Chains A and B, each alone.
Chain A
Amino acid sequence: MIRVATLLPELLGTYGDGGNAFAIGARARRRGYDVEMVEVGVEDPLPPADLFLLGGGEDGPQRHATELLRARGLAQAYHDGAHVLAVCAGLQILGTNFAVEGDDRFEGLALVDVTTTRGAKRSVGDLAVVVGERHLVGFENHGGVTTLGEGVVPLGRVVRGRGNDGRVDGYRAARLWATYAHGPVLAMNPWFADEILASLVGEELVALPTVADQLYAERLRAMGL
């Protein structure tokens, strides 16, 4: 049984990020795994889960979400072995601190040594990142500039759009993936969904051709990649 928990969709679900749960859930079920999906609302305790999903959000809700996740112990759940995928605001929340609404510094959950400040302008548009041998494609819409602390590994190198800072996007740790690409990113990048799923089940996955492969190929073409 794979338990997938979408965290605070009311606060962190601005960009169709709920699609990440759909995508990974469907890809697991079609391969015969049992999947349980939960949405964790603002009043719910953190359920036991194998994968926690964090999406994007607006400034006020982002702060509120951070407080809730701090109180509910997301950091502990991660250290105890859960997997985490964080997108956009979620990426900022897991860092040491981030700036919202002006130049306030707001304390994040400190799962990783990452700081986000406010950029001069918002980045809105296609985002493509080279991750290992492959491209990760998506759409970004954020005003943050994210700086990785020493030893923190980026998810990949930016080839379209801005990501963290125009050079790299997101970060990567054991059982943890973070990116500025929404899209939603797991729906648009089937290989990425499968990478996370393979880590969850601890075994190699059988190939699963779906229409998402065509979408991924078409997005690469559209971005000239």
Chain B
Amino acid sequence: MERMPAALKPRDRLAVTGVRIVNQLSRRLGRGSGTVAGGRFGLRLRPGLLGVLAKGRAVALVTGTNGKTTTTAMIREGWGGDVASNTSGSNMPEGHVAALVASSSSRVVLEVDEKWLDAVVRACAPRVVVLLNLSRDQLDRSNEVRAIAERWRSLWRTAETANVVVVANANDPLVVYASETAVHVRWCNVETTWTADAVSCPKCTQSLRFDGSDWHCACGFAKPTPSTSLEGAQLHVVDVSWTMELSLPGDFNRANAAMAMTALDELGVDLTSASERVARLSEVAGRFSRRHWRGHDLRLTLAKNPAGFAAMLATVRDLPGDLWIAINARVADGRDPSWLYDVPFSELRGRVVHCFGDRRLDLATCLDYAGVDFVLCSEDSPPPPTGPVTVLANYTAFQDWRARSTT
């Protein structure tokens, strides 16, 4: 019998039992991990269930357009021991409820969908909230990233959030705009290559001036002074400084690690041992995993939007072997793949890209106009094995490749 969180009122206890039963049932029926169904059922029974379950625990939340899952995993690893967390990837309240029912650990780290942050903060009274970055993602479902920044900005203005420490990316003007109203902010100076969604000032719409690692606007809005900074593998958190070599590839993962370490510092975790644990992390929910498929050795990577692709292209561009890119435009991806034209594909000139996925013709057209050589491929007639392959896929295409390949 699983442990029931202490001091629950009878109706909350009933809801928790309900979550468990529904999850067991849906697992038995083979409908995935069941976390969404159970959580949804519990919230329907007790709308305040998330707050009840989070009460008395140390909660850290992670949100932003890119890097949520990885940064959440880093905080989980760095914290060590038993940590309640939504490892299923379900990052809305039903997933959070399921995670808190599954583990009664006093340590909680949750990945939160950007649109749900205000509701989850109000319910969970977190100690720390990590705001990674904000850029366009799935335009046909959540247009207007600025509207999200506006909501975060007003969230910190309420008395109930006065004790929250916000760990925020000082190089993302939209994140700065969304965080500067918070009472406690720890600004992180981490490399952010994507600023195309914040070229005009979030405050006054004049154009922002970027100048080296600094940026400012004529209206006075400017990059805040950071207390965490990252130079190559050298990480500084307040007055502690050390070299951090990650097993995960890419500059963007170093940026995620810097922000995770800042959150862990705020949670009172010893940074030396946490850093070692984070450095060992080599795969997150299948991302960066090595897989096999029809004689090919694959490395699976995921990017869901222009900013994610820009960061990932910089990492995979120089990897040896073939590059396969797989694009879908199903509901979870956003039905409109026009964001492909915002990806700096011209960086791939000189390479040949194998195009996969439901929307491989959109990808191929985009590559063609960008001057990149391509081959149209299908999963049914793949190219013959010649060497290592990097698969770069967007969300549902990534899931397809994970399911199709083996460890």
Contacts and interface: CB of A to CB of B under 8 A. Distances in A.
Contacts of B205: 60-61, 64
Interface stretch (B111-119, B140-148, B398-406): B140-148
Nearest to B355: A211
A17 B374 CA distance: 22
A22 B369 contact: yes
A13 B339 CA distance: 10
- B: interface residue count bin: 20 to 34
Given A10-B200, A188-B365, A43 B207 contact: yes
Given A10-B200, A22-B370, A61-B205, A15 B365 contact: no
Interface stretch (A149-157, A172-180, A195-203, A212-220): A212-220
A41 B207 contact: yes
Contact of B361 (A15, A60, A124, A211): A211
A16 interface: yes
Contacts of B265: none
Nearest to B342: A16
B267 interface: no
Contact of A141 (B140, B200, B340, B364): B140
B139 interface: yes
- A: interface residue count bin: 35 or more
Q: Is the interface of A mostly helix, strand, loop or mixed?
A: mixed
A14 B207 contact: no
B312 interface: no
A77 interface: no
Contact of B207 (A10, A17, A25, A184): A10
A49 to B, nearest CB: 19
Contacts of B158: none
9 contacts: A14-B139, A16-B340, A19-B366, A22-B369, A184-B338, A184-B341, A211-B376, A215-B361, A218-B361
B127 interface: no
B365 A139 contact: no
A211 B365 contact: yes
Nearest to B329: A139
B369 A23 contact: yes
Contacts, number: 93
Interface string B323-338: 0000000000001101
Interface in A38-88: 41-43, 58, 60-61, 64
Residue in A14, A23, A125, A211 with the greatest tally of chain B CB atoms within 10 Å:
A211
Nearest to A211: B364
Given A15-B139, A16-B338, A211-B376, A187 B365 contact: yes
B199 interface: yes
B361 A214 contact: yes
Nearest to A212: B365
A193 to B, nearest CB: 10
Given A11-B200, A42-B207, A61-B200, A139 B146 contact: no
Residue in B140, B199, B364, B365 with the greatest tally of chain A CB atoms within 10 Å:
B365
A212 B279 CA distance: 44
A15 B144 CA distance: 11
A183 interface: yes
Interface of A: 10-11, 13-19, 22-23, 25-26, 41-43, 58, 60-61, 64, 124-125, 139, 141, 182-184, 187-188, 210-212, 214-215, 218
A19 B346 CA distance: 12
Nearest to A19: B341
B352 interface: no
A26 B367 CA distance: 11
B338 A182 contact: yes
Contacts of A184: 338, 341
B143 A141 contact: yes
Interface in B198-230: 199-200, 205-207
A78 to B, nearest CB: 24
Given A26-B368, A211-B368, A212-B365, A16 B207 contact: no
B291 interface: no
Residue in B136, B200, B338, B370 with the greatest tally of chain A CB atoms within 10 Å:
B338
Given A15-B336, A26-B369, A210-B368, A141 B207 contact: no
Nearest to A185: B338
B314 to A, nearest CB: 19
Contact of A18 (B206, B342, B364, B368): B342
A-B pairs, top 6 by smallest CB distance, nearest first, are A19-B341, A16-B341, A16-B338, A10-B199, A215-B361, A22-B369
B361 A14 contact: no
Contacts of A17: 338, 341
A41 B136 CA distance: 20
Nearest to A190: B365
Given A16-B339, A42-B200, A60 B146 contact: yes
Nearest to A25: B369
Contacts of A212: 365, 368-369
Contacts of A42: 199-200, 206-207
A15 B196 CA distance: 12
B245 interface: no
A183 B338 contact: yes
A64 B201 CA distance: 12
Contacts of B206: 42
B270 to A, nearest CB: 44
A19 B369 contact: yes
B362 interface: yes
Given A42-B207, A58-B146, A211-B374, 10 more contacts: A15-B336, A16-B340, A18-B341, A41-B207, A60-B205, A64-B205, A188-B365, A214-B361, A215-B362, A218-B361
